């Protein structure tokens, strides 16, 4: 029996976020991307969501390398958490490596980690695998596709991409190389499905520049632009147009400042001399000489634009007439936050220009016609749609069938499912642990479903604590019950209710003293039960009830 190639997604299927794919052959493993996701609205207190790495931890001795397609958080965000458990070299292009380096510094992992910068066109050996880096276009500089070789065959893993014939820098995606690989024979294609529902082609990044120009031309007010911090080509275009109209540019927001620093240091951005000024200098400039580039395109609470809008930014105050350009679309789930910021900006008489009013944003992901070009060039034997929710994966499978692919050669997988490949076959066979791990502050994985359920409960209905001191000798009540509420009712106005809760508690205690005195667990259960029944009848609310008994 010949060895099989296994492909296992630990994230990025049936979700957009926390992308991670494992390739395994002959005792060697390589990992493509290690992303994070953001919590849903009801995951109280959770900062980020990362993939369940159990499978990699169990097999840590086999991991030969972590290969990164590009520097977006949904592809690199969980690296610090992965590295705590699995020590393997990281291979990435310059821009991606620059962003990873910031992360490693922050988590004090830089010294312990081997971070290798690779150029598009180069090939890295890792155990029985070799990985070729192929230049791609995306909404961040220096994105790549991978051609992953092992004795079973070649897999093309696109990562996130679009085909941009007129990118700002870096040149058009290397379609020629993908075509060559297709001619030589590709076993499997794993392809970005994000925009598979959109017909046609994604517009070129360059087209946004013309929109900026129209908004800067003749404007006598200050201009404030927000976009994704990682989109250095977009930032470059803002800087170019600002320089053209004689404006100075100030950058605010930590991730934006980081992106600017990394990309200029590494040569991904070209900033004309004297254009950038410190944000503290803008006060001394005339309005028509000011351009501020800021974070906050998603209405993030702590971002610079949100702070400006709500007057909590230390250096920039919104002035009437400021032209605020939102060069981004709201990621699903962020619409309300973005709406709140826009309303607040309008309240201060700023002029807000967002995507709906102009061509101010283009997507970084391939639309249908671009996907078809990739399928045609790569011409794979097998196809695995990735980077999408179920509906994207299904639509992408249909696109492949419409192009003539045998449905039996297409696999829609799920996280944790093992795809087995031989040179002539593909099938799902077995599963490995996979899922979501919650990060809350320094805690990784300690907050699970039960804790989240409690937090939801507390958030919805609040909490009532009943404190009792009881005798260790005969089980009699020594003091209390004291009733403390949090997030339930305003105590001062409901003394009556609190009094009734005391009465219900005393009745329960009285009953218990006759049947099971000193059985603390049973007493707590009865108190809790009686109180919750009473409260529900009285208020139709269901707070969390915590009886606390102090034995004296
Ligand atoms: Zn991306
Ligand atoms: Zn992505």
Q: Is the pLDDT of residue 142 over 90?
A: yes
Beta-strand relationship, 28-32 and 63-67: parallel
Whole-number pLDDT of residue 373: 98
Whole-number pLDDT of residue 356: 66
- Cα 323 to Cα 115, 257, 352: the distances in Å are 42, 21, 6
Q: Is the pLDDT of residue 432 over 80?
A: yes
- Cα 369 to Cα 136, 312, 400: the distances in Å are 16, 45, 12
Strand pairing partners for 325? 225, 353
Top pLDDT among 479 and 384 is at: 384
Catalytic residue of the set 365, 375, 387, 392: 365
Which ligand is the nearest neighbour of the Cα of 141?
Answer: 1
The pLDDT of 161-170, averaged and rounded, is 95
In whole angstroms, what is the distance from residue 23 CA to residue 8 CA? 7
What is the 414 CA–ligand 1 centroid distance (Å)?
Answer: 20
Top pLDDT among 446 and 90 is at: 90
Dihedral sign (CA 306, 311, 316, 320): positive
**Beta carbons within 8 Å of 343's beta carbon, 6+ residues apart:** none
Q: Is the pLDDT of residue 493 over 60?
A: no
The secondary element (H helix, E strand) that includes residue 340 is: helix 335-347
- Cα 98 to Cα 19, 90, 103, 115, 392: the distances in Å are 19, 12, 9, 10, 31
Cβ 219 vs Cβ 252: under 8 Å: no
Confidence of residue 245 (pLDDT cuts 50, 70, 90): very high
Whole-number pLDDT of residue 490: 56
What is the 361 CA–ligand 1 centroid distance (Å)?
Answer: 15
Asked if 157 is an active-site residue, the reply is: no
**What is 63-103 written as a DSSP string?**
EEEEE-S---HHHHTTHHHHHHH----EEE-HHHHHHHHHH
Asked if 270 is an active-site residue, the reply is: no
What is the 73 CA–ligand 2 centroid distance (Å)?
Answer: 8
- pLDDT (tens digit, 9 = 90+) per residue, 59-88? 999 999 999 999 999 999 999 999 999 999
What is the 35 CA–ligand 2 centroid distance (Å)?
Answer: 8
Average predicted confidence (pLDDT) for the chain: 92
The pLDDT of 300-316, averaged and rounded, is 92
What is the 516 CA–ligand 2 centroid distance (Å)?
Answer: 59
Whole-number pLDDT of residue 174: 98
What is the 69 CA–ligand 1 centroid distance (Å)?
Answer: 9
Catalytic residue of the set 174, 192, 440, 530: 192
Least confident of 23-37, 356-370, 389-403: 356-370
What is the 387 CA–ligand 2 centroid distance (Å)?
Answer: 7
Whole-number pLDDT of residue 552: 80
Strands (E), 397-513: 417-422, 425-431, 436-440, 443-444, 463-470, 477-486
Peptide bond into 483 cis (omega under 30): no
What is the 144 CA–ligand 2 centroid distance (Å)?
Answer: 12
Strand pairing partners for 426? 421
Which ligand is the nearest neighbour of the Cα of 16?
Answer: 2
Give the whole-number percent of the chain exceeding pLDDT 90: 72
Confidence of residue 324 (pLDDT cuts 50, 70, 90): very high
What is the 481 CA–ligand 1 centroid distance (Å)?
Answer: 57
Q: Is the pLDDT of residue 226 over 80?
A: yes
What is the 325 CA–ligand 1 centroid distance (Å)?
Answer: 22
- pLDDT (tens digit, 9 = 90+) per residue, 342-366? 999 999 999 999 876 568 999 999 9
Whole-number pLDDT of residue 491: 55
């Amino acid at each position: 029996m010949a060895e099989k190639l296994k492909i296992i997604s630990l994230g990025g299927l049936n979700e957009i976020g926390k992308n991670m794919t494992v390739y395994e052959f002959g005792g060697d493993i390589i990992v493509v991307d290690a992303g994070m996701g953001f919590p849903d609205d009801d995951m109280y207190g959770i900062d980020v969501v990362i993939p369940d790495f159990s499978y990699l931890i169990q097999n840590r001795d086999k991991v030969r390398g972590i290969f990164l397609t590009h520097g977006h958080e949904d592809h690199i965000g969980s690296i610090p958490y992965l590295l705590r458990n699995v020590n393997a070299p990281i291979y990435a292009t310059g821009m991606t490596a620059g962003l990873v380096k910031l992360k490693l510094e922050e988590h004090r992992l830089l010294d312990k980690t081997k971070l290798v910068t690779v150029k598009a066109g180069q090939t890295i050996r890792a155990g029985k695998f070799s990985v070729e880096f192929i230049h791609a276009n995306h909404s961040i500089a220096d994105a790549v596709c991978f051609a992953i070789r092992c004795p079973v065959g070649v897999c093309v893993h696109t990562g996130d991409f679009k085909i941009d014939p007129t990118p700002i820098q870096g040149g058009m995606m290397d379609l020629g190389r993908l075509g060559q690989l297709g001619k030589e024979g590709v076993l499997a294609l794993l392809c970005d499905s994000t925009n598979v529902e959109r017909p046609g082609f994604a517009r070129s990044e360059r087209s946004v520049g013309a929109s900026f120009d129209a908004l800067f031309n003749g404007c006598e007010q200050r201009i404030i632009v927000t976009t994704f911090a990682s989109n250095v080509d977009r930032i470059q275009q803002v800087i170019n147009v600002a320089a053209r109209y004689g404006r100075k540019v100030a950058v605010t927001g930590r991730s934006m400042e980081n992106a600017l620093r990394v990309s200029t240091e590494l040569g991904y951005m070209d900033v004309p001399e004297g254009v950038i000024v410190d944000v503290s200098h803008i006060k001394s400039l005339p309005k028509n000489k000011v351009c501020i580039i800021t974070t906050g395109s998603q209405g993030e609470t702590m971002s610079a634009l949100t702070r400006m809008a709500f007057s909590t930014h230390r250096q920039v105050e919104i002035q009437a007439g400021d032209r605020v350009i939102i060069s981004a679309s709201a990621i699903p789930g962020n619409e309300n936050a973005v709406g709140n910021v826009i309303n607040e900006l309008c309240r201060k008489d700023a002029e807000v220009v967002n995507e709906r009013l102009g061509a101010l944003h283009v997507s970084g992901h391939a639309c249908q016609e671009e996907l078809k070009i990739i399928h045609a060039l790569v011409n794979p034997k097998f196809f695995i749609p990735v980077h999408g929710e179920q509906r994207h994966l299904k639509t992408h499978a249909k696109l492949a069938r419409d192009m003539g692919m045998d449905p039996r050669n297409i696999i829609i997988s799920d996280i944790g499912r093992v795809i087995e490949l031989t040179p002539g076959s593909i099938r799902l066979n077995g599963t490995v642990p996979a899922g979501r791990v919650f990060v809350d502050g320094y805690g990784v994985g300690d907050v699970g479903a039960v804790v989240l359920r409690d937090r939801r409960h507390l958030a919805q209905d609040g909490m009532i604590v009943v404190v009792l001191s009881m005798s260790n000798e005969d089980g009699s009540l020594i003091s209390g019950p004291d009733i403390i509420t949090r997030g339930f009712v305003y105590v001062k106005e409901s003394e009556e209710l609190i009094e009734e809760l005391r009465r219900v508690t005393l009745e329960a205690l009285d009953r218990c003293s006759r049947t099971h005195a000193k059985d603390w667990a049973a007493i707590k259960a009865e108190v809790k039960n009686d109180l919750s029944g009473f409260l529900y009848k009285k208020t139709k609310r269901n707070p969390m009830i915590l009886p606390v008994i102090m034995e004296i």
